[in-house]
Amino acid sequence: MYEIVTKQEVASNIYLIQIAAKDVANKAKPGQFVILRLDEKGERIPLTIAGVDLKKGTVATAFHAVGKTTKKLAKMKAGDSLTDLSGPLGNPAEVGKFGRVLLVGGGVWCAPLYYVAQALREKGNELVIVAAGRTKDGLIFEKELKEVSDEFYVATDDGSKGYEGLGFLEDVLKAQKFDHAIAMGQVVLLQTVTELTKPYGLKTMVTLASLMVDGTGMCGACRVTVGGETKFTCMDGPEFDGHQVDFEELIKRQRVYLPEERMASMIYEKLGGGVKRG
């Protein structure tokens, strides 16, 4: 069992939890993920690591409560335990001494992006960071990201805070020279960022959240076409060169289980959305 040590709602329906898993914390690197299972009947869900506390032996991760499992997790409290936590899985994000780096995070992904940003900062990179969200209520980690950056922007889809959309990045990209870019977020955001950076030949790494079952290379549910070749997100990624990723295929694969996910979530809500504690 893996105890939830702390839990906080960091924005509307977005939560940050710290889970006790000493061996995982000791080994985790920015960009890697864990797979959780809440209980014996639970599904395995991948969540990107948003930091570790070596003293407490905890791993942090953020999630948006949108499906059955994440809604159920949102109902759990500090002191409750998860049945399973496996990790760290996947390869760490590439953290080199690049020079000037552009980082774009969307919604809940700003938490793991902050973990990567801290590592990049330690390597002596200059960071230009964009925190994006659907609305101002979906923004998290603004303060933290701002602190670690040299230049900081906020953007929302509806313009309720900061720039409206990511179009403003064109001017940023025109005005400055970047050596590396990283995007973490929903597939649409990743696609938008890679399209914006492409004309500048700016290498843009994206972290993919493909569907997964085991997360160790066994099932192949997370396969994605990168540079014309099939790759496994869990084994070869989750960070890939965004200009090589077949996003159209990825979007279709992400939607494969939407009807089932909606059904499970609906039934869960209908039944009162309980959670068994133990």
Partner 1 sequence: MDKEERKHGVPMAKQDVLERIHNFYEVALGYNEEQALAEAERCLQCPKPQCVKGCPVDIDIPAFIKEIKEGNFVAASAKLKEKNSLPAICGRVCPQENQCQKFCILGKIGDPISIGRLERFASDYERTKGVTVPPKEKSGVTGRVAVVGSGPAGLTAAADLAKLGYDVVMFESLHSAGGVLMYGIPEFRMPKKIVQAEVDYIQKLGVELKTNYTIGRIFTIDELFASGFGAIFVGSGAGLPRFMRIPGENLGGVYSANEFLIRVNLMKAYMFPKYDTPIRIGEKVAVIGGGNVAMDSARSALRLGAEEVYIVYRRSKEELPARAEEAENAEEEGINFRFLTNPVKFLGDESGWVKAIECIKMELGEPDASGRRRPVPIEGSEFIMDVDTAVIAIGQTPNPLIQRTTEGLETTRWGTIVVKEETGETTKRGVYAGGDVVSGAATVISAMGAGKRAARSIHEYLMNKKGA
Collapsed DSSP state (helix, strand, coil) of residue 223:
strand
| Segment interacting with partner 1 (CB under 8 A) among 7-15, 126-134, 180-188, 254-262 | 254-262
Query: How far apart (Å, rounded) are the C-alpha atoms in residues 272 and 222?
Result: 32
Binding mask 178-217 for partner 1 (x = CB under 8 A): -----------------------------------xx-xx
Matching residue, tokens 């900081």: 152
Closest to 92 (Cα-Cα) out of 183, 22, 28, 187: 28
Residues near 229 by Cβ (< 8 Å), separated by ≥ 6? none
Q: Which of 24, 104, 148, 245 binds partner 1 (CB under 8 A)?
A: 24
| Segment interacting with partner 1 (CB under 8 A) among 52-60, 101-109, 184-192, 263-271 | 263-271
Facing residues of 17 across strands? 7, 61
Q: For partner 1, which is the closer residue by CB, 102 or 250?
A: 250
Q: Which of 227, 230, 269, 273 binds partner 1 (CB under 8 A)?
A: 230
Q: For partner 1, which is the closer residue by CB, 23 or 164?
A: 23
Q: For partner 1, which is the closer residue by CB, 180 or 231?
A: 231
19: exposed, middle or buried (C-beta count within 10 Å: 0-12, 13-18, 19+)? buried
Query: How far apart (Å, rounded) are the C-alpha atoms in residues 143 and 39?
Result: 34
Matching residue, tokens 């996910």: 261
Residues near 143 by Cβ (< 8 Å), separated by ≥ 6? none
- Among positions 47-106, residues that touch partner 1 (CB under 8 A) are 68-69, 83-89
| Segment interacting with partner 1 (CB under 8 A) among 37-45, 121-129, 150-158, 162-170 | 37-45
How many alpha carbons lie under 13 Å from residue 192 in its C-beta half-sphere? 17
Number of residues that bind partner 1 (CB under 8 A): 41
Q: For partner 1, which is the closer residue by CB, 78 or 251?
A: 251
Contact positions vs partner 1 (CB under 8 A): 23-24, 27, 37, 41-44, 68-69, 83-89, 213-214, 216-221, 223-225, 230, 235, 249, 252-253, 255-257, 260-261, 263-264, 267
